[in-house]
Structure 1
Amino acid sequence: MEILSEQELHNLAMNIVGKDLENRGFEFLAVNSQLKKDPQFVCLKNKKLHFVVVKAVKYPDNPKKYDATFMETVKEHALKFKARTYYAGVGIADAEDYEKPVLKGRNYIVNYDGIQEIV
């Protein structure tokens, strides 16, 4: 079986976060699913602009932990547009053995607690 690539894991995380944002009433203005092109989502909610950075995180890394220096850079960029900045870490692991890579066609487990605002 084939291991999911970094881009495929990222796309999976994007889908999970995208559905969450949609359910929360966010309107998408721009979506960028390319790796290392941040933010992934530029959204509108209550007439306010929101930048959302999405990261797929492999086990055993903590999906809630983010690179503060990097997120500060994104936040500075967002402030130029009077936008709020969010981080969305999505933990993805093989359902049967967390230590194994995620394979195409196999079940996986998701660890996602929603978006975290960077203040």
Structure 2
Amino acid sequence: MGLLTDQQLHNLAMNLVGKDLEELGYEFLAVNSKKSKNPQFVATKEKKLIFVVVRAVNYPDNPVLYDEELMGKVSKHGINYEAKTFYAGVGVANSVSYELPVDSEQDYVLNYTGLIEIK
């Protein structure tokens, strides 16, 4: 199989964040698995709308740091819909050695601390 592509890494992150949103009681209104389309999730809970931007972040980059310009744009878009905007960064690393790329033949580690609200 070989090294995971950026889209495959993004899909891992999407699956983790999607499960987290479900466990938090959110219902999905829209899901876009393309990394280039933002937000990836539009969801609702108790009539409150949220936008969630998901990013897979390769080690050693910090998954809680985000592109402020991008998140500002998504947040402004969210305000038009009375939606709160969140960033969900998922750190991804090869479990054999964090220095190695993520490979489909080896286990990997995910580092996700939850949703970060953008204000």
Residue 50 of structure 2 corresponds to 50
Task: Kindly state the Cα deviation for residue 3 of structure 1 after the two structures are TM-superposed.
Answer: 0.3
What SS class does the counterpart of residue 97 from structure 2 fall into? coil
Describe how 1:11-50 pairs up with structure 2 within 5 A: 11-50=11-50
Task: Kindly state the Cα deviation for residue 100 of structure 1 after the two structures are TM-superposed.
Answer: 0.6
TM-score (norm 1): 0.98
TM-score (norm 2): 0.98
Distance 1:69 1:38 in 2: 13
Residue 108 of structure 2 corresponds to 108
In structure 2, the gaps of 5 or more residues are none
Distance 1:46 1:62 in 2: 32
Identical-pair percentage? 56
Distance 1:98 1:116 in 2: 24
**4+ residue stretches of structure 1 with deviation over 3 A?**
none
Distance 1:105 1:49 in 2: 39
Distance 2:114 2:97 in 1: 24
Alignment length, in residue pairs?
A: 119
In structure 1, the gaps of 5 or more residues are none
Task: Kindly state the Cα deviation for residue 105 of structure 1 after the two structures are TM-superposed.
Answer: 3.0
Task: Kindly state the Cα deviation for residue 117 of structure 1 after the two structures are TM-superposed.
Answer: 0.4
What SS class does the counterpart of residue 42 from structure 2 fall into? strand
